[in-house]
């Protein structure tokens, strides 16, 4: 690329990094430029591997250190982040992640550990894991915990495998996993991965699971039901009011209940899933306990089980004998490993630091504030946007853009894009699937009343714009480096790596 190829109006913001025009703008490489100088060779020169393993050429960008710094700094500025603005992405819990978590996770005492180190040299790390297991067990009301799963969905897989192992031990494998239509999409996907046929249970008009439909299904399938995977609070942001009846009905046919606890930030310190009859639960430490996430990981999906299911947990489990912590591999009924080594240890450190910083009362306060903030938004936007389930919500509230769509042809996607112009990350949209034009708003507890008030004002403003100047909303965003993207193509034909421009 030569200088003259760059348009004078520096339109690089238009396309930089997202839709690079072939070779132009994105390309920073210049023949002969370099950012490092290698020291003189001070070891004997080695022979190259056999010729078939050696590439003829290795085209790498030729850039200076400054080029690299500018490139990545610019890319980071094009990303929205919790550290830049309000990010009410429902179900994802984009709360503020205190920096002390990272500071302590980066201590060499933690970050320089090797997974093959002798147990006697990692007693501190094992103690941290053990205590984290204990606290998560206490919060869940379920006594045994594995920290191995690396994501929420991975915790679900672990749980579903435990359900499978449990029925195998009972001497009879079962065929069906029941899934409410208000469950997170990972629930049916997980059940299917383990080989279960999924049966959908509908939601009633009040936003709860339709108890009669559940009972009919249980009557019909009886002892072929392996269990029920329920997201609570559901993806409608609602607490399942019939949870005790549901647990009783499923247990009556010998099934187990898996609770998707990715959003335990709505329950910590207030209700224990174990007390509600739940048998297995996963957490997302990378939501509830402030481990940073987004971009696909790494996460931490600790999973808790009731006492008689502890024997099936993945090996190893961190255990304690007197004053000594150790990795317990002696568990003959274990489902085996679900991951290399012990899980994402540095994320355990982050979750642990967060929990210690807040303490028991602080964690309960976290939950109450998360629920309060969501209900504040619900009450303020009711009447402006359609509220399909008009009752107290938990950590998030689901609105619908149906009115704007029907009256002005402004869809939820347009509203989401318009929010970006106001410096706000869009909520989760078109999910849950059962709500047309859904907008799933999760403010989290870390946002101030001022931030929520501004968000509410912006949402009202966009509703006015939809009525008065719908084109402005439909053509949003207007103030971003790139406008609307071809998201389908971005998902199907992603350009994920730099490739050198053709000569």
Ligand X SMILES: *Cc1c(COP(=O)(O)O)cnc(C)c1O
Residues that bind ligand X in the complex, under the rule CB under 6 A? 91, 151-153, 184, 186, 231, 260, 262-263, 284, 299, 301
Q: Give the SS3 label for residue 26.
A: coil
Element (H, E) at 108: helix 108-111
The nearer residue to ligand X, 88 or 299, going by C-beta atoms, is: 299
Q: How far is the CB of 192 from ligand X (least distance, A)?
A: 15
Of 280, 323, 34, residue with least CA distance to 149? 280
Matching residue, tokens 């647990």 = 247
Record the tokens describing residue 502, joined without a space.
Answer: 């053709």
Q: How far is the CB of 439 from ligand X (least distance, A)?
A: 16
Q: How far is the CB of 288 from ligand X (least distance, A)?
A: 10
Of 439, 286, 290, residue with least CA distance to 374? 439
The nearer residue to ligand X, 128 or 264, going by C-beta atoms, is: 264
Q: How far is the CB of 346 from ligand X (least distance, A)?
A: 16
In order, the DSSP letters of 57-99 are --------HHHHHHHHHHHHHTS--TTTS---BTTT------H
Paired residues of 258 in beta bridges: 229, 280
Q: How far is the CB of 162 from ligand X (least distance, A)?
A: 17
The nearer residue to ligand X, 231 or 375, going by C-beta atoms, is: 231
Q: What is the DSSP letter of 221?
A: H
- Residue ranges of alpha helices (H) inside 434-493 are 449-468, 470-474, 487-492
Residue nearest to ligand X (CB): 152
Can you tell me the distance from the alpha carbon of 346 to that of 182, in angstroms, rounded to the nearest whole number?
32
The nearer residue to ligand X, 404 or 428, going by C-beta atoms, is: 428
The nearer residue to ligand X, 262 or 348, going by C-beta atoms, is: 262
Contact residues for 435 (Cβ-Cβ < 8 A; gap 6+): 236, 388, 398, 400
What are the C-alpha distances in Å from 229 to residues 60, 91, 279, 303, 344? Answer: 48, 17, 10, 14, 25
Spatial contact of 441 and 377, defined as CB atoms under 8 Å apart:
yes
> Which letter, b or e, does each residue of 458-467 get, where b requires 16 or more Cβ atoms within 10 Å of its Cβ?
bbeebbebbe
Contact residues for 101 (Cβ-Cβ < 8 A; gap 6+): 290, 291, 349, 350, 351, 353, 354
The nearer residue to ligand X, 6 or 433, going by C-beta atoms, is: 433
The nearer residue to ligand X, 151 or 163, going by C-beta atoms, is: 151
The nearer residue to ligand X, 152 or 418, going by C-beta atoms, is: 152
Q: How far is the CB of 87 from ligand X (least distance, A)?
A: 14
The nearer residue to ligand X, 292 or 301, going by C-beta atoms, is: 301
Q: How far is the CB of 234 from ligand X (least distance, A)?
A: 9
- Residue ranges of alpha helices (H) inside 141-194 are 152-170, 186-193
What is the pairing mode between strands 176-180 and 317-321?
Answer: unpaired
Q: How far is the CB of 180 from ligand X (least distance, A)?
A: 12
The nearer residue to ligand X, 152 or 274, going by C-beta atoms, is: 152
């Amino acid at each position: 690329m030569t200088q003259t190829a760059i348009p004078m109006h520096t339109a690089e913001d238009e396309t930089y990094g997202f839709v690079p025009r072939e070779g132009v703008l994105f390309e920073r490489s210049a023949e002969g430029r370099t950012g490092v100088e290698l020291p003189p060779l001070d070891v004997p020169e080695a022979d190259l591997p056999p010729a078939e393993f050696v590439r003829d050429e290795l085209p790498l960008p030729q850039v200076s250190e400054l080029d690299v710094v500018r490139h990545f700094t610019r890319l980071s500025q094009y990303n929205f982040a919790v550290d830049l603005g309000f990010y009410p992405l429902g179900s994802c819990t984009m709360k503020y992640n205190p920096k002390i978590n990272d500071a302590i996770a980066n201590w060499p005492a933690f970050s320089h550990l090797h997974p093959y180190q002798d147990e006697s040299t990692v007693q501190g790390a094992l103690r941290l894991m053990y205590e984290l297991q204990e606290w998560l067990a206490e919060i869940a009301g379920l006594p045994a915990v594995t920290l191995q799963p690396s994501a929420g969905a991975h915790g679900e897989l672990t749980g579903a495998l435990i359900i499978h192992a449990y029925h195998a031990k009972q001497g009879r494998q079962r065929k069906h996993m029941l899934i409410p239509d208000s469950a997170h999409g990972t629930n049916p996907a997980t059940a299917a991965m383990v080989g279960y046929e999924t049966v959908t249970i509908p939601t009633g008009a009040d936003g709860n699971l339709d108890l009669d439909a559940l009972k009919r299904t249980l009557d019909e399938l009886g002892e072929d039901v392996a269990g029920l995977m329920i997201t609570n609070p559901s993806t409608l942001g609602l607490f399942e009011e019939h949870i005790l009846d549901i647990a009783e009905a499923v247990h009556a046919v010998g099934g187990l209940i898996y609770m998707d606890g990715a959003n335990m930030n709505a329950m910590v310190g207030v209700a224990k899933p174990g007390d509600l009859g739940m048998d297995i639960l996963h957490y997302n430490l990378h939501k509830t306990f402030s481990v940073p996430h987004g971009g696909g990981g790494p996460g931490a999906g600790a999973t808790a089980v009731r006492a008689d299911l502890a024997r099936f947990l993945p090996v190893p489990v961190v255990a304690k004998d007197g004053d000594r912590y150790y990795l317990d591999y002696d568990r003959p009924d274990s489902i085996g490993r679900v991951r290399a080594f012990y899980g994402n240890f540095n994320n355990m450190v982050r979750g642990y630091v967060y929990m210690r910083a807040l303490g028991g009362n602080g964690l309960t306060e976290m939950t109450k504030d998360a629920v309060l903030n969501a209900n504040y938004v619900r009450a303020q936007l009711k009447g402006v946007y359609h509220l399909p389930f008009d009752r107290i919500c938990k950590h998030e509230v689901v609105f619908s853009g149906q009115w704007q769509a029907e009256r002005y042809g402004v869809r939820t996607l347009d509203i989401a894009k318009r929010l970006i112009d106001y410096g706000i990350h869009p909520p989760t949209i078109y999910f849950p699937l059962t709500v047309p034009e859904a907008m799933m708003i999760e403010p989290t507890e870390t946002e101030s009343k001022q931030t929520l008030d501004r968000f509410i004002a912006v949402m009202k403003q966009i509703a006015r714009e939809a009525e008065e100047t719908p084109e402005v909303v439909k053509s949003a965003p207007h103030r971003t480096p790139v406008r609307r993207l071809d998201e389908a193509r971005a998902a199907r034909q992603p350009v994920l790596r730099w490739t050198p421009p053709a000569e």
